[in-house]
Amino acid sequence: MEPVATTFFFYLLAGLAVLGGVLVITRRNPVHSALALILTLLALAGLYLMLYAPFVAGVQIILYAGGIMVLFLFVIMLVSIEKAGREEQFNKIWLVGLLAAVALGGLLVAVYVKGRSLFAGPLIPMPEQSNTQEIGQMLYGNYLFAFEIASLLLLVAIIGAVVMAKKRI
């Protein structure tokens, strides 16, 4: 099956994701970093749509770009930005971060150079019709107990955040 979008759209979305990631770590204002993270998450959702994974793209938009980013902004507003701005920006292990970045860059170049020889055989076509239905049946069938436990943990975390925020106000 042919891809949904052309190579142009892939490179556009990948470039937006990388640009958003760079903006996340280079902005001094945490709210601007959170907005750049939303850009990155939306670009990744577009890439998921290009891979015929509409459920994962929807989860990416609703759960991460929506819910998690609201929590991030909530935490940013609770933390004193003036106090955090006066603290030292860089710690003493920047050399380790630089070495890790160089190693990851080398890995990226190696994968780019080797190309398709890294993969053993032809790609297996994915079923597109029943992707979301099968995930729903497994989630609410086989893994219902784990799903309910996760929702309970999220509920406890929300209640704890509200209680902590109320004590500070």
Kindly state the average pLDDT of the residues 37-57: 90
pLDDT band at 106 (very low <50, low <70, confident <90, very high): very high
Q: What is the pTM of this model?
A: 0.60
Residue 38: partners with Cβ closer than 8 Å, 6 or more residues away: 20, 65, 69
Quote the tokens at residue 70: 């609201």
Q: Which of 103-112, 129-138, 152-161 has the lowest mean pLDDT?
A: 129-138
